[in-house]
Amino acid sequence: MSLMDRASCAADGSFVLDGIHPTRAMDLACEHMAGQLGEASVEAVPPGSSDVLIVIERMAAGGDRIGGRVVDAAIGQPITRFEVAAAPWSQGPHPWSLAKLAVEDVSGRFLIKGLDGTASRLFVEAVGYPAQDFGPFTPGPDADVELRLGRHATLAVRVIDASGACQPGASVQLTRVVEGDEPMPFGDLLAAVARTDGSVEWTDLTPGAYTLQAACGDLRAPRQRIQLPPGLRTPLDVTLRPLPDSGALEITALDKDGAALAGAVVRVTMRADLTEGDALPEPYVGVTLKDGRVRLGGLPPGSCLVMVTASDVMKNAFGEATVIADQTAHITVRATR
């Protein structure tokens, strides 16, 4: 199961999660949004388990609060119209549900009541700014924070080889880093193909930290972390080089009926990078073509786990393969739904 897999309970409280990872035990969390808020979790559930019981104890609405104001990060002036919401910090940057508070105030001030005192993440949206999240904040009778919204950032990438020649058709992936959280290898991903001049440009990005990786054939650039300031265009040259003793993996992704999964995101994680108890490492990433295939070059030799997620619906496919130096391995994975 990816970090984003979810399911709604039926009227009798039952649920089914399919398309989960075939070998890794998963932590399950459940939240009840009707009436009084309640949540519970069960850890280390093996794949294929049935009759998992999650007991929710409802909680009375809290009496704590978070107040503050929202300002423009560049000039410090208040933003007078916005929406703000709070969610438990433990739910990460993609909470299961959000009750947004619409604010119109000349001083940019807001007040969220009824919180239970646990660490919270605040989400803010305003016209002309990317949606942003902040935290962790501890609610309390005197909690007062300032949230600074930055304008959209732009990243302009030029992909070249060691001689300086542009690399049209190179695959470039950008992943946002959420400060204070563990890495999310199955989280948000922006993928693009370099134009004839080797360029890729993203506009309307949320300011902050990102990781970037690029590859073309058997050439690859080491993954790097970059910082995008608000309201600015950041140019970046990415140099691809052959990696010694590397191999390639060609993945064919099919749906449950055997049809090609085009435009699906493929993530390959080397088993050597996995350490029990540690956060999952960032994977090597690609996007399938119309025939459902993608070739990832410049991979280190060894056993790897493959996860494929279709972009239109939650169709997950999993597999395992072995990368061999100076060779191209092949694997076909089929979605379970």
Higher pLDDT pick, 9 / 200: 200
Could you tell me if residue 177 is left (phi over 0), alpha (psi between -120 and 50 degrees) or otherwise beta? beta
Q: What is the mean pLDDT of the chain?
A: 83
Statement: residue 105 has pLDDT above 90: yes
For residues 212 and 198, give the distance between their C-alpha atoms in angstroms, rounded to a whole number: 15
Its pTM stands at 0.64
Statement: residue 61 has pLDDT above 60: no
User: Of 131, 127, 126, 218, whose CA–CA distance to 178 is shortest?
Assistant: 131
For residues 183 and 269, give the distance between their C-alpha atoms in angstroms, rounded to a whole number: 13
For residues 213 and 203, give the distance between their C-alpha atoms in angstroms, rounded to a whole number: 18
| Cβ contacts of 29 within 8 Å, gap of 6 or more | 39, 40, 41
Higher pLDDT pick, 29 / 163: 163
- Domains in the chain and their CATH numbers? 1-60 (no CATH), 64-149 (2.60.40.1120), 153-242 (2.60.40.1120), 247-334 (2.60.40.1120)
Q: Report the 3 state secondary structure along 253-268.
A: EECCCCCECCCCEEEE
The per-residue pLDDT for 333 is: 93
The per-residue pLDDT for 79 is: 96
The per-residue pLDDT for 313 is: 53
Q: Over the stretch 261-293, which tens digit does the pLDDT of each residue have?
A: 988 888 898 887 666 444 456 688 888 889 999
For residues 48 and 30, give the distance between their C-alpha atoms in angstroms, rounded to a whole number: 18
| Residues linked to residue 307 through DSSP beta bridges, in sequence order | 267, 318
User: Of 138, 135, 139, whose CA–CA distance to 124 is shortest?
Assistant: 135
Report residue 95's pLDDT band, with 50, 70 and 90 as the boundaries.
Answer: low
Report residue 32's pLDDT band, with 50, 70 and 90 as the boundaries.
Answer: low
For residues 115 and 64, give the distance between their C-alpha atoms in angstroms, rounded to a whole number: 5
| Cβ contacts of 287 within 8 Å, gap of 6 or more | 171, 191, 263, 264, 265, 266, 294
